[in-house]
A and B are shown apart, each in its own frame.
Chain A
Amino acid sequence: MSQHPIRNILIVGGGTAGWMTAAALARVLPQDFCRIRLVESDAIGIVGVGEATIPAIHDFNRRVGLDEREFMASTNATFKLGIEFVNWGNIGDAYMHPFGTYGRDLNGVGFHHYWLREREAGSAVAFDEYSLPYLAAKRGRFGLPKTEADSVYSTYSYAFHFDASLYARYLRGVAEGLGVERIEGRIIGAELRPEDGYVQCVVLENGSRLDGELFIDCSGFRGLLIEEALKTGYVDWRHWLPCDRAFAVPSDYPGPPDPYTRATAHDAGWQWRIPLQHRMGNGHVFSSDYSSEDRAAATLLDNLEGEPHAEPRLLRFVPGKRRKMWRRNCVAIGLSGGFLEPLESTSIFLIQAAIMKLIELLPDSTMPAPVVDEYNRSMDQMFDEVRNFIILHYKQTARDDSEFWRYCRNMSVPDELDYRMRLFGKRGVATHRNGELFIETNWIAVYLGQKLVPQQYDPRADCLGRDEVSKSLASMREYLVTAAEAMPAHGTTVATHCAGTTALSS
């Protein structure tokens, strides 16, 4: 046996990705196992990615051992039951991608097939109306789910809206408490080992050198190690995801926060609306090929509900991924590994998935090739899958009111996505692959929400009589509406569960 455990890990960059990585590694690796240091500079601002999350974040928080009330209070967090998409399939359309199931399967046949059957018979009840999280969200209600499998309150999940920079700060506290050593300093370069090109150390402005056996590059878009030092290369996906800029601005927000994210399509991109306890997070993601920056900023400001707190801040990005997210002794996590627009709130998830995969495949200092290959294969698959899911929102549209939308609806999409859209469009089969984040329900929500209505439903849905199906659906809906109305107001749950420090003082 020749295993040489890693004794020295250096995390480069202290944004959301850096501190999430530090906190998770420090929690999982015993303290005497390995030294974990993180180098960052107070002079460099962090790109607060995310703000809106998906339910998978519970796994991460649990793994790190966060107390939900405390972390929510510290980050001014609210609860999230889904994402409402406005003007996507067409101008005037709205649907939700909720964190939960629809209706109930009958005789082992998926609920959506019965909904399609009812629709064909003339019913006009929207698919959303059979989703408990949707019904609760639109009523401004939120209660914590229950675990009893026979309870209707076990059929949904939730995530958070939070201030990502506060989340990073909170995790920094956790990480430092677990022994992570923070080093203040601006990095000016890196040195590679001449014999094999492994990263040997990073060099700080003050001349000091920080060595390590494993380097985790959380330096953001520029990819200080993975790109500037190791020249790994980047795969550009702009032909599928033409948006490459975003303006972000917080604004006032009177009234109780909504328990859902909203994504409103504009004529060259879309605008996010993320209700926190103390403010509204807003942003306009757009394509520089189809809109000037001035126009994009104006669109954002025109569509705010309250006064902006600042000038909109511009972010530039190229949608895509690093050619290899793990190269030699350097793993790129966060924006240095790849960037996908936050349309499905996946930024923090992709960080989390990278961290968990790294822990699962934790190498020793020999960096075994099969292990590195497996990591890269898994992360590539994860990025490709999320990318395809986001592309679906642009491709599946009837909009032709702008050059941008005409491009999107006519563009060719990855083969796998094209195949999945055809399979669903023909006969309502929502397929997904082993280990993917988005499962059948998620795909169905977006397919149907954007009017990809199957030409045919599962013939097995015809086994029940017409009246029986109508009655079942009507009673399901009635039951769900009653359940939604019995939930407490979201504002009340936030106030009793996790009222934030900032919100209380302001």
Chain B
Amino acid sequence: MNKLSGLDNIVIVGGDVTGWTVAAALANSLRGHKCTVTLLDVPDIINVEPVQYTAPSTLEFFRHIGVDEDELIRQTGATLRLGTGIHYRNRATDHRVLAFGKQGGTMGVVPFHHYVARQRLLGFETNLNRFSATAMAARQGRVERTDDPGASTLPPIGYGLNMNTEKLTQLLRNNATINGVQALHRGIDSVELHPASGYIRQLRLTDESTLAGDLFVDCSGEAALLIGAAMGVAFEDWREYLPCSRTVAATTKSDHDQTPVHHIAAWDNGWISSTPLRHRTAHRVLYPAEFVTDDDAVALLRAHLGAFEADAFSTHEMPSGRRREFWACNCVAVGSAAAFVEPLDLSTLHMTQRAAMQLAAMLPATPATPELATEFNRRIGEEFESLRDFTHLHYVASFWRRSEFWREMAAYKRPPSLQQKIDLYRSRGHIRSRNNDAWPLETWVAALMSADIWPDGYHPLLDSFDSQQLDEHFGRMRQAIDQATSKMRPHREYLAALDN
């Protein structure tokens, strides 16, 4: 036995989807280990999100906890999401899909997007969506889960899932419980710290019992009961880059829209978004408190929904930002207790899963090993910052709008790391990849081009290409994509077949 283990009891605080995600990850990682995992299901931790979203990379998480993907889709009533449908300008006409997965194909030493940039400068058709089977399928409301959409010439289809929060939580709870996680339903009365080290010694619960542990995972959401309230780790506010901290949400009983995307549109004072679910559609308006009252936001959403009947409208405040440290002493914050990024790209669960897996690989949490905390904080911190930059791009794309809010936003500074990325890209189309970038290069390209940020130049080697020939080559590529997507099934039909 590891003589310095220091890993006998892990306590997870919070019983929503975040807590159970961490519980399932740890229970599966520690199957056969003497360490016990207890989840303290404290009251009042409610996840206001009716839907949980994943990105392609996070399907890995479910493999880790042994959940079959088809089963996952069935049990959580999931729909597929091939990307984000963005409407920066006018909802009806200006529609692009920021699709998961790669565009185009491999063409020698120069990355594909340089060719697109050059063709655009020469006046050829260069809608990036036309070079992505994922994007084209999404636009047609068709889906497929395959690594080989067409004769091995096209990159794999990228997709994530939109899952019912309650059903997913149930699935994770079952999974964790089977693997030995014990749940306790109590509130926290107080948190007892070691006076010298600042480590959490135990929790005093509302029934006057105590709960001790070597490691405490704070999944209590924005309340941050441990990392914030007890440990006093400060929250770094990112509203200067992502100002829409307020949300009005509602779901409608509409199923007219079955496109496998999450739609976002800019409005005068923020964002309005919708995601098609199995039988309903989830809507939300994001806005900054200084510019819009909750009543106005509700009115806007109501008007937007038109004849569709909505359930209750709920408002919520959730500023973007990060905890200075996610892991401090023996307390690790995961989920919105750790950090939150405006949900324009729906990365909350994705980040929770990433953090849970990283945590499982960085145990234990003892005073002898502060380096593990440093490493965890470095990796997760870089990833969140990358996500922040990526999300801010949606703002950059919308600065043309003439409202006071957008004028003010345009005058704000950008995250320096994003500015460098944009400068290099603008100059000659190169993308700088960072450590622990949240998204791969091709997703950045898709986001930049969707945002109408184009390079002023391209790789000089392309000057030796005949642009007419290249256009013909692109034509064949588009044909292959059309052929592949025409064989795919409509989203709803696809899910129905999966259910049977």
Contacts and interface: CB of A to CB of B under 8 A. Distances in A.
A456 B4 contact: yes
Looking at B5, B364, B430, which has the most chain A CB atoms within 10 Å of its CB? B430
Interface stretch (A25-33, A391-399, A400-408, A479-487): A25-33
A368 B457 contact: yes
Interface in A19-47: 28-30, 32-33
Interface in B423-468: 423-424, 426-428, 430, 432-437, 456-461, 463-464
A149 interface: no
B372 A423 contact: yes
A370 B456 CA distance: 12
B360 interface: yes
B374 interface: yes
Do most interface residues of chain B lie in helix, strand or loop, or is the interface mixed? loop
A124 interface: no
Contact of B1 (A427, A429, A462): A462
A426 B420 CA distance: 36
B363 interface: yes
B361 A371 contact: no
A456 B5 contact: yes
A459 B371 contact: no
A412 to B, nearest CB: 18
Given A28-B461, A371-B427, A433 B1 contact: no
Interface string A351-368: 000000001111110001
Contacts of B420: 370
B66 to A, nearest CB: 12
A361 B111 CA distance: 11
Given A33-B464, A362-B461, A426-B368, A374 B432 contact: yes
A468 to B, nearest CB: 10
A62 to B, nearest CB: 12
A422 interface: yes
Nearest to B366: A456
A333 to B, nearest CB: 18
Contact of A462 (B5, B432, B437, B458): B5
B30 A463 contact: yes
B244 to A, nearest CB: 30
A9 B34 CA distance: 66
A1 B456 contact: yes
Nearest to B4: A456
Nearest to A373: B424
A464 B2 CA distance: 12
Do most interface residues of chain A lie in helix, strand or loop, or is the interface mixed? loop
Nearest to A361: B430
A371 B371 contact: no
Nearest to A368: B427
A419 B459 contact: no
Contacts of B360: 460
A456 B2 contact: yes
A6 B460 contact: yes
A127 B228 CA distance: 44
A108 interface: yes
Interface in B368-383: 368-369, 371-372, 374-375
A459 B374 contact: no
B7 A463 contact: no
B4 to A, nearest CB: 4
B386 to A, nearest CB: 11
Interface residues of B, number: 48
Nearest to A369: B427
B109 A459 contact: no
A359 B109 CA distance: 8
Interface string B85-123: 000000000000000000000000100000000000100
A460 B364 CA distance: 10
B357 to A, nearest CB: 9
Contacts of A478: none
Contacts of A362: 459-461
Contacts of B458: 3
Contacts of B433: 434-435
B306 interface: no
B3 interface: yes
A5 interface: yes
A326 interface: no
A252 interface: no
Nearest to A421: B371
Given A362-B459, A429-B362, A434-B434, A371 B2 contact: no
A113 to B, nearest CB: 9
A29 B32 contact: no
B372 A427 contact: yes
B253 interface: no
B464 A30 contact: yes
B190 interface: no
B202 interface: no
B121 A1 contact: yes
A459 B7 contact: yes
A457 interface: yes
A381 to B, nearest CB: 10
A305 interface: no
Contact of A460 (B3, B29, B109, B437): B29
Contacts of A455: 4, 368
A32 B436 CA distance: 40
A419 B374 contact: yes
Contacts of B363: 458-460
Interface string B23-57: 00000011111110000000000000000000000
A463 B30 CA distance: 6
B316 interface: no
Given A363-B460, A426-B369, A462 B2 contact: yes
B64 interface: yes
Contacts of A29: 461, 464
B369 to A, nearest CB: 5
A178 to B, nearest CB: 15
A143 to B, nearest CB: 30
Contacts of B428: 361, 363, 368, 370-371
Given A117-B2, A435-B433, A460 B374 contact: no
Nearest to A366: B457
Contacts of A422: 371
Nearest to A110: B361
Contacts of B375: 423, 429, 431
Contacts of B362: 427, 429
B436 A434 contact: yes
A108 B457 contact: no
A279 B428 CA distance: 48
A419 B463 contact: no
Contacts of B35: 459
Contacts of A434: 433-437
A32 B428 CA distance: 22
A363 B374 CA distance: 39
A32 B464 contact: yes
Contacts of B368: 426, 455-456
B464 A462 contact: no
Interface of B: 1-5, 7, 29-35, 64, 109, 121, 360-364, 368-369, 371-372, 374-375, 420, 423-424, 426-428, 430, 432-437, 456-461, 463-464
Given A368-B427, A456-B3, A459-B2, 14 more contacts: A28-B109, A32-B464, A33-B463, A63-B109, A362-B460, A364-B460, A370-B426, A423-B374, A423-B375, A426-B369, A433-B435, A458-B363, A459-B5, A462-B2
19 contacts: A1-B457, A3-B457, A3-B463, A5-B460, A360-B109, A360-B430, A361-B428, A362-B461, A368-B427, A423-B371, A427-B362, A427-B372, A429-B362, A434-B437, A456-B4, A459-B7, A460-B361, A462-B33, A465-B32
Interface of A: 1, 3, 5-6, 28-30, 32-33, 63, 108, 117, 120, 359-364, 368-371, 373-374, 419, 422-423, 426-427, 429, 431, 433-435, 455-465
Q: Which 9 A-B pairs have the closest CB atoms?
A: A463-B32, A370-B427, A423-B371, A30-B464, A434-B435, A370-B424, A456-B4, A368-B427, A1-B121
